[in-house]
Chain A
Amino acid sequence: MSGGALGKVYQDGEIIVRQGDHGESMFVIQAGQVEVVAEREGEETLLRVAQAGELLGEMAIFEKQPRSATLRALGEAKVLTIDKKNFMRRINEDPTIAFRILETMSHRVRELSNEIVRLKAEK
Chain B
Amino acid sequence: MWNPRPVGTDTKGNMSSTDWVETLDLGEIAEMPAAGSDALTLVDGSRVAVIGGGPAGSIFSYFLLEMATRVGLELNVDIIEPRDFERPAPIGCNMCGGIISESLVQNLATEGINLPGKVVQRGIDSYMLHMDVGSVRIATPLQEMRIGAVTRGPGPRDVKEMKWESFDHHLLKRSIEAGAKVVQGRVDHVDWTDGRPQVRTKGNLPETYDLVAVAMGVNSPGLKLFETLGLGYERPSSTKTLIREYYLGEEVINRTLGSSMHVFLLDIPRLEFAAIIPKGDYVSMCLLGEDIDNALVEEFVNTPEVQGCMPPEWKADARSCQCMPRIAVQGVKKPFADRVVFIGDCGVTRLYKDGIGAAYRTSKAAARTAVFEGISEEAFRQGYLPACRTIANDNLIGKVTFLATRVIQKTRFARRAVLRMTKKEQQKEGHRRRMSSVLWDMFSGSAPYKDIFLRTLHPAFLGGLSWSLLTSVIPASKKKKTEGAKK
Binding site for B on A (CB under 8 A): 2-8, 28, 30-31, 52-53, 55, 80-83, 86-87, 89-90, 93-94, 96-97, 99-103, 105-107, 109-110, 113
Contacts and interface: CB of A to CB of B under 8 A. Distances in A.
A8 B365 CA distance: 31
Contacts of B117: 2-5, 31
Interface string B90-111: 0000000000001101110111
A92 to B, nearest CB: 10
A81 B107 contact: no
Interface stretch (B14-22, B208-216, B423-431, B457-465): B14-22
Contacts of B111: 97, 100
Contact of B106 (A3, A86, A103, A106): A86
A90 B22 contact: no
Nearest to A80: B109
Interface residues of B, number: 43
B112 A100 contact: yes
A97 B148 contact: no
A110 B448 CA distance: 38
Contacts of B112: 53, 100
Contact of A55 (B5, B105, B110, B116): B110
- Chain B CB count within 10 A is highest, among A6, A8, A90, A93, for A6
21 contacts: A4-B115, A5-B120, A6-B115, A6-B148, A8-B142, A8-B145, A28-B109, A52-B114, A53-B114, A81-B142, A82-B106, A86-B446, A90-B103, A97-B110, A97-B111, A100-B2, A100-B110, A100-B112, A103-B4, A106-B21, A113-B16
A65 B446 CA distance: 27
A96 B143 CA distance: 30
Nearest to B63: A96
A46 B109 CA distance: 25
B390 interface: yes
A94 to B, nearest CB: 6
A110 B8 CA distance: 11
Given A101-B110, A103-B21, 12 more contacts: A5-B120, A5-B145, A6-B109, A7-B145, A7-B146, A8-B143, A86-B107, A86-B446, A87-B106, A94-B368, A103-B4, A103-B22
The 10 closest A-B pairs by CB, nearest first: A5-B120, A28-B109, A5-B123, A106-B21, A109-B18, A8-B144, A5-B117, A82-B106, A6-B145, A110-B18
Contact of A82 (B2, B110, B116, B390): B110
B387 interface: yes
A96 B5 CA distance: 17
Contacts of B110: 28, 55, 82, 87, 90, 97, 100-101
B114 A4 contact: yes
A103 B2 CA distance: 10
B361 A93 contact: yes
Contacts of A94: 361, 364-365, 368, 387
Nearest to A100: B112
Interface in B71-129: 102-103, 105-107, 109-112, 114-117, 120-123
B70 interface: yes
B87 to A, nearest CB: 23
A8 B144 CA distance: 5
Nearest to B20: A106
Nearest to B100: A6
Interface of B: 2, 4-5, 10, 16-18, 21-22, 63, 67, 70, 102-103, 105-107, 109-112, 114-117, 120-123, 142-146, 148, 361, 364-365, 368, 387, 390, 446, 448
B148 A102 contact: no
Nearest to B259: A5
A81 B144 contact: yes
B18 A113 contact: yes
Given A5-B148, A7-B144, A8-B144, A113 B17 contact: yes
A90 B446 CA distance: 12
Nearest to B364: A94
A2 B117 CA distance: 7
A106 B19 CA distance: 8
Contact of B122 (A5, A31, A93, A100): A5
Contacts of A2: 117
A28 B146 CA distance: 12
A99 B29 CA distance: 15
A107 B16 CA distance: 12
Nearest to A3: B117
Contact of A96 (B123, B148, B361, B368): B368
Contact of B109 (A3, A82, A89, A103): A82
B120 A90 contact: no
Contacts of A113: 16-18
B116 A3 contact: yes
- Chain A CB count within 10 A is highest, among B63, B120, B123, B143, for B123
A105 B21 contact: yes
A108 to B, nearest CB: 9
Contacts of A109: 18
Contacts of B21: 102-103, 105-106
A96 B4 contact: no
A86 B103 contact: yes
